[in-house]
Amino acid sequence: MFTGLIADLGSVVALERNGAGATLRVQSTLAAELQPGDSIAVNGVCLTATQVSEDGFAVEAMTETLARSALGLLRSGARVNLELALRAEDRLGGHIVQGHVDGTGTVSAARAEGFSRVLDIDPDQRLERYLVEKGSVAIDGVSLTVSELRSDGFSVSLIPETLVRTNLAALGEGSLVNIEVDILAKHVERLLGVRA
């Protein structure tokens, strides 16, 4: 489990595809805190460290993960949001994020608004029902608040601190992002037997 508060911006060293999925190699200062078998969220996707070196780590992404997320588009040099798994004694400063990406969305617009930057995102249509104004959503692993619901998507507002600590500042029109909706909304839907 994660909180959506990014601990480091890592740098992709390589994405090596094979018939079963891909191996992603990332350079990060968080490597010093990792052991093989530990969970780490990469752009919001919970993955397992398979190799750890002094300055980086490797994770494997299966075909399902590549199909449901934007990880397969990563290239050498890309910056990725990284978060280590939550410890029981840590503060829950963001919201409950599982690292189980529900789908992707496309940034349809990015604009300045005062000191913040607003992203308009058009999600996979099946995710829209889980989004509520002022509710939580994780974009590329970052815990954010839905600032506005639109007929074709939603908006999030990014404060300067978020822009400095994450890779979201680099997003522009056409960027593909990973989306994880609030787990509570999915559980309520399941318990009530509601299907759209």
- Please tell me the distance from the alpha carbon of residue 65 to that of residue 43, in angstroms, as a whole number: 12
One digit per residue, pLDDT tens: the chain, 196 residues? 999 999 999 999 999 998 889 999 999 999 999 999 999 999 999 999 999 999 999 999 999 999 999 999 999 999 999 999 998 888 888 898 999 999 999 999 999 999 999 999 999 999 999 999 999 999 999 999 999 999 999 999 999 999 999 999 999 999 999 999 999 888 888 899 866 5
CATH 3.30.540.10 fits 103-192, yes or no: no
**pLDDT score recorded for residue 196:** 56
Q: Where are the domains of the chain?
A: 8-84, 103-192
- What is the CATH number that goes with domain 8-84? 2.40.30.20
Contact 99, 132 (CB under 8 A): no
Cα–Cα distance list, 83 to 31, 70, 154 (Å): 11, 17, 24
